[in-house]
Amino acid sequence: MPPARYTSHALTSGATLKLLLTSGGVTNSSIHDALTGLLYRPIGDATALCIPTAEWGHPNCGPSGVWRFIAGKTPAPMIDLGWKSVGVLELTALPSIDEERWVPWVREADVLLVDGGDALYLCHWMRESGLADLLPSLTETVWVGVSAGSMVMTPRVGEDFVQWRPPTGDDHALGIVDFSICPHLAPDGMRGNSMAEAEHWAADISGPAYALDDQTAIKVVDGTVEVVSEGHWKHFPS
């Protein structure tokens, strides 16, 4: 097991958006420190927008889950970290709103807190809303994803995680990073994905991938990929 902070590789073309891709949220001091290191100001002075959209696409999620995320009542610490302010950005609403209204909301936020659910549904609405096109210009923004909110940044989610089928019919996500993520790695018999299931998933990805437990995150800044963990994870090289 590599140490809590481990720089694995550099992307060939670095994303300008700063990413903290978590499996279970900001669950320990190492991930919390990584987040504060990405921000330009203390959390208490930083403004956040939370994006619950992925929940609507997953059969195990629904209105109560969306409320719990927004209210900071989930087991994944995100909303309840002491932000100066938190607003809600629902991507399915954005196509009906002029860009002149919502784009400034996004540009003015220090951090985007992106909930889990269905990664492909989230990907679809990021494209439909125009948020995906806006990402390259958000050079001072931090994207903090949990589960599907992290997987959406990868090239593929893998067929094992397809619940909602996009119009394209495939499992491709945004490809902002060059690796895929299997979240919620758990010991055999525990709730989550076993290592055997993660290895089966990785065999079909045909590219580099990571399996992460809920005490692990991946930080990406200027193309450098760094695993931040107080738990267990595995890197699957391409």
Report pLDDT digits (tens) over 90-118. 999 999 999 999 999 999 999 999 999 99
Residue 38 has pLDDT above 50, yes or no: yes
**pLDDT (average), residues 52-79:** 93
| Residue 179: other Cβ atoms inside 10 A | 24
pLDDT category of residue 189 using cuts at 50, 70 and 90: confident
On the 0-12 / 13-18 / 19+ scale of CB atoms within 10 A, 101 is: exposed
pLDDT category of residue 5 using cuts at 50, 70 and 90: low
pLDDT category of residue 86 using cuts at 50, 70 and 90: very high
CATH number for the domain including 88? 3.40.50.880
Residue 230 has pLDDT above 70, yes or no: yes
**Quick one: pLDDT at residue 2?**
45
Q: Count up the domains in the chain and report the number.
A: 1
Query: In terms of residue numbers, what domain contains 172?
Result: 5-236
Residue 229 has pLDDT above 50, yes or no: yes
